[in-house]
Each structure stands twice: as structure tokens, then as C-alpha cells.
């Protein structure tokens, strides 16, 4: 703003001839000045600058420092947003693939870095408008950062990649026929099964040899959030459901039809479904 005020004073005062007589020459002597206007016109450029309030008295050195600093800060913050956003997607995918805990992804750190970076970008944008320097640069960077965090997050939430990681891991170790066979064996050996997530060793031992054999044959029955424990296994709506998670970050798992018929997840716009066949699908967020 000061960069705008001082040049404006130069134009108003007429450059080198910044006296009252110089102004009178340009106005043809037809403009009558008030005492305040006469006092302002009698000031030289330096006097005019020193007469400004402290909040406007930004000198040339400050401008030289702020202008490159705005580009540096905005570039660093935009790079941090891109890096942590991409790491966020990668972390959630790896969480589903290797049964890692969500806290290994440290979402609080990601949100903190992205939030602070957006605040700094907002600050540099406001300063650029005030100084009338780098306005195009800071505006474009700020809008790109918002687009990279807001719309992208809504179109493809990072948490939805968990189900892709789980699907890829399961399908590398078993086929769809193996999963159907698992359902039939559970229905024969332990009909109406209800296994709660992360049961104690004491409860697991009491389930008997049939349950132990299933756990040895299908190792995903020993997977847990954080790499230990077990999933929730239950029957619902003629389907066997294997599920991890809960209210904290959503439910993750897969469902298999017991009788080989088509099954559909409960309609929920927040649920990400990967259908493998009519009788098998993976899901996240249901």
C-alpha cells in the first residue's frame, strides 16, 4: 500500500517540481486548495513519507525483503502441501495392505502441516495485495493449494485407499474361490459364528480346534489393526462378514455370500465398495 501511496504522491505533486506553484501550473490556477491540501503540497517526497502513520511507513528496504520472501514462503508451503497430501494417500493404502494402525499414518501431523501451510499462504496472499507485489504469483499458488486439498480430498478421500490396499493384499494370497471355500467351511464347522475384534487368547482357545484350523488355513483371521489381533467375523443378511475398524476411522473388510447369491452393501454414499463378483465385495466406511 505504501508503494502505491508514495508514487501517487509523486504524481500528485508532479515529480521533481513538487511545489505548490508546480501544482498550480498543472491545474491552470483554477483549483482552490484548502489549508490542509496546501500543507501537503508543500512537503517534499521524504517529508511526505515521514508524515505517514507507522503502519504505512514501510520503507524501500522492507519491500525488497518482503517481495522475495513471499515467493519463497509460498513455494515451500505449496510443496509441503503436495508432499504431505501424497504421503497421506500412500499411508492409507499401506495401512490396508499391511494391516497397519491408522496412527502409523499420523493423520494429526498431516492435518497440522497442511493447515499451517494454508494459513501461511493466506498470509502471503494478503501481504501481496497490501504491497501490490507478486499478486498473481501468490493468488495462483493459494488457489492451487486449496484445489489440491479441498476438491481432491472430497473426490478421492485418502481413507478410501485403505480398501484398495486390503483388496490387493487378500487377492495376492487367495482367490475368489478360496474365499467362497472359507465361507462354506465356517458355515459347516461354526454356523452362526460371532467373533469379536481383537479377542483375548483365552477366548480364542475356548473356541476349539475347528477355529484354530481355520486360523491356520486363512491367516487373515489373525490380522489385526496394528499388525496383531483378529477381525470381527459374523453372519448378516445371508453373508459372512470379515471386518476391521469401527467408529474411529470407519469399517474395513469384505463380505461373501453364504449361498452364492448376489449381495449388496447397505446404501451409503460414504461407503467405498469394490465389487469382485456378485457374491463378494470389499468395502470401506460401511
**The predicted structure's pLDDT at residue 189:** 84
Report the alpha-carbon distance of residue 265 to residue 104 in Å, rounded: 29
Sign of the Cα pseudo-torsion (98, 103, 104, 109, in order)? positive
Which residue in 284, 221, 235, 230 sits closest to 263, CA to CA?
Answer: 235
Longest dimension (CA), the chain: 109
**The predicted structure's pLDDT at residue 48:** 52
**The predicted structure's pLDDT at residue 278:** 92
Average predicted confidence (pLDDT) for the chain: 76
Count of helix runs (H) and strand runs (E) in the chain: 12, 6
User: Using one digit for the tens of pLDDT, what is the confidence trace for 149-190?
Assistant: 877 777 777 777 888 988 998 999 999 999 999 999 988 888
**The predicted structure's pLDDT at residue 227:** 55
User: Using one digit for the tens of pLDDT, what is the confidence trace for 107-141?
Assistant: 677 778 888 999 999 988 988 888 888 889 889 99
**The predicted structure's pLDDT at residue 13:** 42
Residues of the chain below pLDDT 50: 1-21, 23-24, 56-57
Sign of the Cα pseudo-torsion (134, 140, 145, 150, in order)? positive
Neighbours of 81 (CB within 10 A): 23
Crossing angle (nearest 10°) for helices 107-131 and 60-98: 160
Sign of the Cα pseudo-torsion (131, 137, 140, 141, in order)? negative
Say if residues 255 and 283 touch (Cβ distance below 8 Å): yes
Say if residues 281 and 254 touch (Cβ distance below 8 Å): yes
Task: Output the CA–CA distances (angstroms, integers) from residue 141 to 71, 72, 128, 130, 133, in the order listed.
Answer: 9, 12, 12, 17, 14
Say if residues 220 and 231 touch (Cβ distance below 8 Å): yes
Residues near 167 by beta carbon (within 8 Å), at least 6 away in sequence: 96, 254, 274, 276, 282
**The predicted structure's pLDDT at residue 132:** 81
Which residue in 221, 260, 262 sits closest to 243, CA to CA?
Answer: 221
**The predicted structure's pLDDT at residue 62:** 60
Residue 111 sits at the vertex; the CA angle it makes with 110 and 116, to the nearest 5 degrees, is 105
pTM value? 0.62
**The predicted structure's pLDDT at residue 133:** 82
Neighbours of 115 (CB within 10 A): 12
**The predicted structure's pLDDT at residue 154:** 73
Amino acid at each position: 500500500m505504501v508503494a502505491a501511496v508514495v508514487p501517487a504522491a509523486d504524481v500528485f505533486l508532479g515529480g521533481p517540481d513538487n511545489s505548490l506553484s508546480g501544482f498550480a501550473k498543472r491545474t491552470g490556477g483554477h483549483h482552490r486548495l484548502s489549508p490542509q491540501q496546501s500543507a501537503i503540497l508543500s512537503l517534499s517526497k521524504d517529508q511526505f513519507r515521514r508524515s505517514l502513520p507507522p503502519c504505512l511507513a514501510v520503507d524501500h528496504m522492507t519491500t525488497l525483503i518482503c517481495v522475495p520472501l513471499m515467493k519463497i514462503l509460498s513455494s515451500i508451503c505449496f510443496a509441503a502441501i503436495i508432499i504431505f497430501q501424497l504421503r497421506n494417500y500412500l499411508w492409507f493404502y499401506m495401512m490396508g495392505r499391511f494391516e497397519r494402525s491408522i496412527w502409523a499414518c499420523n493423520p494429526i501431523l498431516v492435518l497440522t502441516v497442511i493447515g499451517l501451510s494454508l494459513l501461511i499462504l493466506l498470509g502471503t496472499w494478503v501481504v501481496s495485495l497490501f504491497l501490490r507485489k507478486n499478486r498473481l504469483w501468490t493468488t495462483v499458488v493459494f488457489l492451487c493449494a486449496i484445489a489440491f486439498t479441498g476438491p481432491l480430498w472430497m473426490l478421492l478421500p485418502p481413507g478410501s485407499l485403505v480398501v484398495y490396499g486390503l483388496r490387493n493384499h487378500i487377492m495376492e494370497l487367495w482367490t475368489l474361490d478360496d474365499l467362497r471355500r472359507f465361507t462354506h467351511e465356517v458355515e459347516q464347522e461354526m454356523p452362526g459364528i460371532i467373533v469379536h475384534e481383537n479377542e483375548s487368547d483365552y477366548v480364542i482357545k475356548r473356541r476349539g480346534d475347528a477355529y484354530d484350523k481355520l486360523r491356520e488355513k486363512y491367516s487373515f483371521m489373525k490380522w489385526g489393526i496394528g499388525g496383531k489381533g483378529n477381525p470381527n467375523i459374523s453372519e448378516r443378511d445371508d453373508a459372512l462378514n470379515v471386518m476391521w475398524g469401527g467408529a474411529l476411522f470407519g469399517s474395513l473388510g469384505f463380505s461373501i455370500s453364504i449361498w452364492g447369491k448376489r449381495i449388496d452393501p447397505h446404501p451409503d454414499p460414504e461407503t467405498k465398495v469394490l465389487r469382485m463378483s456378485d457374491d463378494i465385495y470389499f468395502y470401506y466406511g460401511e
